[in-house]
Structure 1
């Protein structure tokens, strides 16, 4: 009988505990379950998005092989519209810019580079677009636009290249002192065996003065 009484007390205690905390425990379980399902769903969504973007990237490779700038730009635009934050969209747009430039279509090249610079998620890809855009503007005589682009933050790995281009732009504007400072700063950020050093030193020598 004592055993039955003890068992009943345990049952009653369990009921009381459940009445007080049961709904919160259930809610916690539901939240955890939903969180897990949401995470799994997000993983599936990301995987599905990547697969679909990869399918749209296939025509890009074909267009590059054929040298078809029109098809390449159209394929890049499809990726921009459907999957703007995918690596495929940024890479397709970089390729479109290169092919357009090779064909003499600098306007389209600039548009593609602007899109990548403004939308690329990967810092390195974004940096490449920024540098190419600034170089394109400098070649076109748009020195102020190039300097404005070069004033924007860039991935640290590409900072020496950005500084070198900045020096080139300042030199075009006649600011020899500013150009020298930019070249010197670029050199300071490079490793002693960096291939870029040789050309930078040539540019500094051409400016004369202290290095």
Structure 2
């Protein structure tokens, strides 16, 4: 570092440095402040969009709860308008439930397939795959249902998955496979109380 003998030399050095670098400093400051304000604007805009989506979701679900399948068009419009939001996935799950109650299984399956493709949330994916498997089994697509269950790898679902797998295998006529699945389900921490009855029936 250069040493300066007098304050005047230091002042002159600063002036020279500023003359050479001043524009770059100002430009950097402008860019920095612009980025800061831009980021804050982005955050504010994102929060506002999330709040609006939340309010719309609540309104759509309340309508669905009050009128059932009559609100299908309204909820579908919400899903399409908010396709990049997890709210749309949650709305699709609720709509599929109502469609099942109205015995519109094909529509419910389509809704769940869309939800599956639209989310990366592992907890939601487990729910979606499980519901899809039940509906596919209900339609007699047993192999597709079992394949769907194989997508659920969370150990917390083991009991429910194996029990449903046992139910499906039993409907296919595979009592031995069903018994094996029920046995595995019984060893899991999330097994249901009716499972023992199913095992007892097969053991007779």
TM over 0.5, shorter chain: yes
- The match for 1:66 is 67
- The match for 1:120 is 119
- Report the TM-score, using the length of structure 2 for normalisation: 0.77
CA distance in structure 1 between the aligned counterparts of 2:54 and 2:175, rounded to whole angstroms? 47
CA distance in structure 2 between the aligned counterparts of 1:133 and 1:29, rounded to whole angstroms? 55
Q: Report deviation, 1:119.
A: 1.6
Q: 1:45 to 1:159 in 2, by over 3 A?
A: farther
CA distance in structure 2 between the aligned counterparts of 1:180 and 1:17, rounded to whole angstroms? 84
Q: Deviations over 1:92-128 (max 9, x none)?
A: 2222111111112112111222222222354333322
> Gaps (5+ residues) in structure 1?
none
Alignment of 1:52-201 (within 5 A): 52-57=52-57, 58-67=59-68, 69-71=69-71, 73-190=72-189, 194=190, 196-201=191-196
Mean Cα deviation higher: 150-159 or 24-33: 24-33
Q: Is contact 1:118-1:126 (8 Å) kept? A: no
- Report the TM-score, using the length of structure 1 for normalisation: 0.75
Q: 1:17 to 1:97 in 2, by over 3 A?
A: same
> Gaps (5+ residues) in structure 2?
none
Q: Report deviation, 1:24.
A: 6.7
Q: Deviations over 1:12-67 (max 9, x none)?
A: 44456557776776676556545533442332232222232234321331232122
CA distance in structure 2 between the aligned counterparts of 1:15 and 1:146, rounded to whole angstroms? 77
Q: Is contact 1:87-1:121 (8 Å) kept? A: no
Q: Deviations over 1:114-165 (max 9, x none)?
A: 2222223543333222211110111111101111211214554334322322
